Amino acid sequence: MLVSTKWLQDYVETNGMDPAELAEKITRSGIEVDAVINRSEGLKNIVVGYVKEKAKHPEADKLNVCQVDLGEETVQIICGAPNVDEGQKVIVAKPGARLPGGFKIKKAKLRGEESNGMICSLQELGIEGKVVPKAYADGIFVLPEDAVAGEDALAYLGLDDVVLELGLTPNRSDAMSMLGVAYEVGAILSEDVKLPEISYTESSEKAEDYLKLHVEANDLNPLYVAKVVRNIKVAESPLWLQQRLMAAGIRPHNNVVDVTNYVLMEYGQPLHAFDYDRLKTKEIVVRRAAEGQKIQTLDDQERTLQSHHLVITNGEEPVAIAGVMGGANSEVHEGTTTVVIESAYFNPQSIRQSSKDHGLRSDASSRFEKGVDPNRVIPAAERAAQLLADLADGEVLAGSVIFDELDKSPKNVVVSPDFINNRLGMKIPLEDMTNILERLKFDIEAANGMLYVTVPTRRQDITIEEDIVEEVARLYGYDEIPMTLPEGEAVPGGLTPYQAKRRQVRAYMEGAGLYQAITYSLASTETAQQFALKDAPVTELLMPMSEERSTLRQSVIPHLLEAATYNVARKVDSVALYEIGSVFLGTTADELPNEEEHIAAVITGKWVDHSWQGEQKSVDFYVLKGIVEGLFELLGQSNEVSYQKAVIDGLHPGRTAEVLLSGERIGFIGQLHPSEQKARDLKETYVMELDLAKILNVDVEPLLYTAVPRFPSISRDIAMVVDRAQAAGELESVIRKAGGKLLKEVKVFDLYEGEKMEEGKKSVAFSLNYFDPERTLTDDEVVNAHNKVLEALEQAGAQLRV
């Protein structure tokens, strides 16, 4: 929101306060002022000139030699603007003048002709091209005839002004108008607000005889006001009106459109002007659109409507998308003589949806979707009628055409002074509280130890007791809140068991040689479900920042692969990253998604093997599997974890394994599929992802001290011939189950698939360790236990290799 301080003084007295000081006070009261813009900064020696003569430059077809009266003297200026002409009042930068950017004007010769200054466009004075009237967008600006040659041109242009740029939060929609800001400044400075005086002469003819109104969608449009103004003369707006619109960041068009925009900025109430004759039916019908219906909007785009869009029609076809943009078929033009001024209250959710669907966010829609003041709808229409009568010589027909089912009553909030002070930790006197609320123009009554506050409808953000607390605090002064120590019994802080384990996991991953990454939780629709551990609906954002960030992710891996690709493309050949982050699993119901915490990793390139003199080797499946096994050993879950071969989209079918915890699938480890590696320009790359919440929430028996064994253990090695498809992990499970309590360790130490093996067979060798901590085992006990293992393996289809 851009606020002209000169315009602001029409409504509230600032007592000559420096704009920078005013900005500081506004910021301290809760609305941040992002910038203080001096519109005349860098400008000096800019005056009004009168073009007495114009002649073609003898040596240049596109240049003109102009004789310009500057009041005290007439000088020659060479001008290349296509619209310069005799009899114009123009903006002249005299020799010695400075323009924005430090550009200094000097006397010069252009193609042999002397030039004593420069005739300026608005852009050359630092005004943005997007707000310059289209008639002057490609040339110089022409001042009104009453401008006096030689006088300061900055005053005529309203550039002797300072603009405050407010950074408004969504709840402060009341400050999206000059009157709203005036109420805020009035409360800060303890000044009254002066509302515009509305007075005009009405015609003897009635508006309701010219226009019929039917509101069919009263749930989306509970209040609609139409005023009819005839015999208008569409022309350029007076300079003062153009100045104020440009200061507010709005391009002037003509007096009718400019009046609607002026009232929009003044009251915060969007208006729209229809050409009465172009309506054809002399009727306005507000309804939901027909599915697939078309409308060409004012931006010359044809738009397809949906059945939930609210439209303004002439009873036959749409003439506007309600609250968003008008239609080209009812646009005001130079030949317009009668206009219908629309002022309405539209359902905020309906406008927000229409704006999103059509990709249109206008000054009107941004206000409607936050909720306008219902008690300003009618005054805004009256104000527009007054201005059209004054500036366009219009004749306002008597009365208005109104549909009104809107509750316009203010909200009431009851709060106690003790509640306010307890929340703030202060002792603000009751008198100060009531004074603050009265400065905000809230009606207030103090009785029975309570404050009964009636909140004006312009402040729709005030609904509960805490809102009143905030209003008191910000105007009393956040700086006045004392610094105090907390009261009450002090208790030591600490981490929950889950948090403590998560810190252990993070320390372990970094100790294992991986770097922590933090990536977006948002992904594209195409990648959101890639590598997901569970099958669940995706959750899409209503208003995403981009297509690449439109959907909540269901796996952490895609973003880690993006990070790996980014690093490899910048000559970082070896990448090892991990991330602990959330994934979001949608539900079938219209509810928020379930959020789960996962841990994921990606490794590619070389890996330093610290177990053998720091030797570097290429990453493989077992590097990442070893990291995962170490993690489970750290958490005391090694005996509960198993691995089995898996096929997962995007991963190598022969180098991928599911991770099971107590028989439940909690993740996977695998090599990125060669086609995926090629697409991402990566070498051999391995990834893993685990459901961290399930891992850390497992109850683990506390670690108990085990004495160093005093008795020897006995080892036995066996080699089994099995089918090549047989998983070694399944054989290990058979061995552990059959070995009983004496079998303490089982390890695979060899795999043979050479030429001496039968086709389709392989040899897997295990090392078994038998031990009893209380005594020395006898040979018979070991043989008995070992024979049970061999029998179990034979029953499982394995043959002892001799």
CATH number at residue 726: 3.30.70.380
User: Which band of pLDDT confidence, cut at 50, 70 and 90, is reported for residue 592?
Assistant: confident
Q: Is the distance from CB of 51 to CB of 100 less than 8 angstroms?
A: no
pLDDT digits (tens, 9 = 90+) for 19-32: 999 999 999 999 99
Nearest C-alpha neighbor of 624 from the set 571, 660, 577, 567? 577
Which CATH number does the domain housing residue 19 bear?
Answer: 3.30.56.10
pLDDT at position 542: 80
736 Cβ partners below 8 Å, 6+ apart?
A: 743, 746
What would the two tokens of residue 423 be?
């929340």
- Sign of the Cα pseudo-torsion (722, 728, 733, 739, in order): positive
The per-residue pLDDT for range 41-56, each reduced to its tens digit, is: 888 889 999 999 999 9
Per DSSP, the residues of 119-149 read: EPPSGGGT--GGGS-GGGTTSPPEEPTTPPT
Say yes or no: 568 and 691 in one domain: yes
Of the candidates 80, 129, 126, 78, the residue with the CA atom closest to the CA atom of residue 103 = 126
**Shared-domain flag, residues 469 and 420:** yes
Is 555's pLDDT higher than 70? yes
Return the axis-axis angle of helices 255-267 and 239-247, rounded to nearest 10°: 50
Report pLDDT digits (tens) over 447-501: 988 999 999 999 999 999 999 999 999 999 988 888 877 777 877 888 999 999 9
According to the model, what pLDDT value does residue 759 have? 86
The per-residue pLDDT for 153 is 93
Same domain, 450 and 519: no
pLDDT of residue 609: 61
Provide the mean pLDDT of the chain: 92
Please give the share of the chain, as a percent, with pLDDT higher than 90: 73
Residue 271 pLDDT level (bands cut at 50, 70, 90)? very high
When pLDDT is averaged across residues 642-661 and rounded to a whole number, the result is 92
Give the tens place of pLDDT for each residue, 757-775: 888 899 999 999 999 888 8
Both 531 and 556 in one domain: the answer is yes
Can you tell me which residue has the tokens 């002439």?
314
DSSP at 669: E
Distance CA 357, CA 520 (A): 25
pLDDT over threshold 70, residue 703: no
Specify binding-site residues: 461, 467, 470-471
pLDDT at 509: 94
Average pLDDT over residues 198-218: 94
pTM summary value: 0.70
Question: Do the beta carbons of residue 643 and residue 657 sit within 8 Å?
Answer: yes
Same domain, 641 and 749: no
Whether residue 320 is found in the same domain as residue 242: yes
Q: What is the number of structural domains in the chain? A: 6
Looking at 480, 512, 531, the residue that finishes a domain is 480
Q: Say whether both 649 and 511 belong to one domain.
A: yes
Query: Do 509 and 657 fall into the same domain?
Result: yes
- Percentage, residues of the chain above pLDDT 70: 98
Q: Per the domain annotation, does 644 fall within a domain? A: yes
Give the domain-ending residue among 696, 730, 750.
Answer: 696
Same domain, 443 and 544: no
Does residue 706 lie in a domain region? no
Q: What is the CATH number of the domain that holds 671?
A: 3.30.930.10
Q: Is residue 6 part of a domain?
A: no
Question: Do 585 and 450 share a structural domain?
Answer: no
pLDDT band at 230 (very low <50, low <70, confident <90, very high): very high
Q: Is residue 702 part of a domain?
A: no
Rank 336-345, 471-480, 735-744 by mean pLDDT and report only the highest: 336-345
How far CA 775 is from CA of 437, 709, 785, 790, in Å, comes to 86, 10, 16, 24
Domain membership flag for residue 776: yes
Kindly state whether residue 3 falls inside one of the protein's structural domains: no
Q: Which residues pair with 50 in a beta bridge?
A: 69, 89
The answer to whether residue 487 sits within a structural domain is: no
Question: Does pLDDT of 174 surpass 90?
Answer: yes
| Mean pLDDT to the nearest integer, 3-29 | 94
Identify the domain containing residue 173 by its residue range: 15-36+164-189
- So what's the pLDDT on residue 47? 94
Other beta carbons within 10 Å of 193:
16
DSSP bridge pairs for 604: 575, 685
Report pLDDT for 489.
81
Residue 543 placed within a domain: yes
**Residues in the annotated binding site for Mg(2+):** 461, 467, 470-471
SS3 content of the chain, % helix, strand, coil (to 5): 30, 30, 40
pLDDT > 70? residue 519: yes
Residues 181 and 310 in one domain: no
Statement to judge: residues 386 and 420 lie in one domain: no
In SS3 terms, 356-409 reads as HHHCCCCHHHHHHCCCCCHHHHHHHHHHHHHHHHHHCCCEEEECCEEEECCCCC
Domain boundary among 388, 404, 420: 404
